[in-house]
Every structure is written in C-alpha cells, then in structure tokens.
Amino acid sequence: MVSINQIKKLREETDVSITECQKALAETKGDVEKAKEILKKWGREVAKKKAERETYQGIIDSYIHPNKKVGVILELSCETDFVAKSPDFQALAHELCLQIAAMPEETPLLEQPWIKDENKKVQDLVTEYIAKLGENIIIKRFTKYTL
C-alpha cells in the first residue's frame, strides 16, 4: 500500500497531480524513482496527444538582465486565456526567457539543456508543463538582444 508521505514526496518533487502520483506509485509498488519515470512517460504521451491542438491564446513575456546588456522578448502560446493567465504558464514563460538570455543561440532552443537542470532539455520542460496544464503550448517566437 502506498503511504500519504510517499504521495506527498512525489507530488513535491514532480508537481504532478496527487491522483497521478498515487497511480504511478501504485503501479511501481511504492518505488518513488520508478514512479517519476512513469510520470515522465505519461507526460510525453499527453503532450503528443495535445500537439495537434490549436493555440490561439498566450502571453508576451520579457526579461532584461540586471547588467542591462541582454534582453529577451518571448511569445508563448496556449489554447485558452484561462491557462495563459495562470501562474504556472507565466512561470514557464519566465523560465524560457531566462534560458534564452543565458544560452548561446547556435543550438535550437528546444534541444538545449535546461539551465536549471542539465539532465533535462528545454523540450522536456515544455512537455512537463503541457502535461501539468492540460493544453498544447508552443513557443511562437522570441528575440534575444545583446550589446
């Protein structure tokens, strides 16, 4: 049987819904590391299903580095205004702006290792948010300015 503490721990580490955490832990008989892998797999499957859906809403976000020598403008789109206004979606936009500001432009954005976790690519980060928010998310365009 899966304990509440295991579910809480997995939820805190993955930010996936309690129900999904409980299902993953039940499937792995309480193994948290295996449950994380299952949640990643499920997230990729959700993202594939959502990839064909149109994204008519979204936000424009920006970031200016404190040295005032690097700036980024990003257009991030999703399916509904409800998700576009959510703190999670806005947090993703901010993370993407930081990524763009920090990394060289030679490597395509989605293929770059994420600056906060080198074991993940930016595509993995976006996929996690697609699974978490339940909508397709597309990086429409961005511009990086440097002096």
Contact 80, 135 (CB under 8 A): yes
Domains contained in the chain, number: 2
61 and 92 in a common domain: yes
pLDDT of residue 4: 85
Helix axes 32-50, 18-27, angle to 10 degrees: 120
The answer to whether residues 65 and 46 belong to one domain is no
| Cα dihedral sign, 111-115-119-123 | negative
Task: Give pairs for 124-127: CB < 8 Å, separation 24+.
Answer: 124/40, 125/92, 125/95, 126/47, 126/92, 126/96, 127/43, 127/44, 127/47
pLDDT in tens, the chain (147 residues): 788 888 888 888 777 778 888 888 888 888 888 888 888 888 777 777 777 788 999 999 999 999 999 999 999 999 999 999 999 999 999 999 999 999 988 899 999 999 999 999 999 999 999 988 989 999 999 999 999
Q: Are residues 110 and 89 in the same domain?
A: yes
61, 34: one domain: no
What pLDDT is attached to residue 6? 83
Give the pLDDT of residue 117.
93
pTM, 2 dp: 0.78
Let me know whether 63 and 83 are in one domain. Answer: yes
Residue 92's domain is classified under what CATH number? 3.30.479.20
- The answer to whether residues 23 and 44 belong to one domain is yes
**Same-domain pairing of 14 and 77:** no
Q: What angle do CA 61, 64, 69 make, to 5 degrees?
A: 145
- Domain range for 8 is 4-50
13/63 same-domain check: no
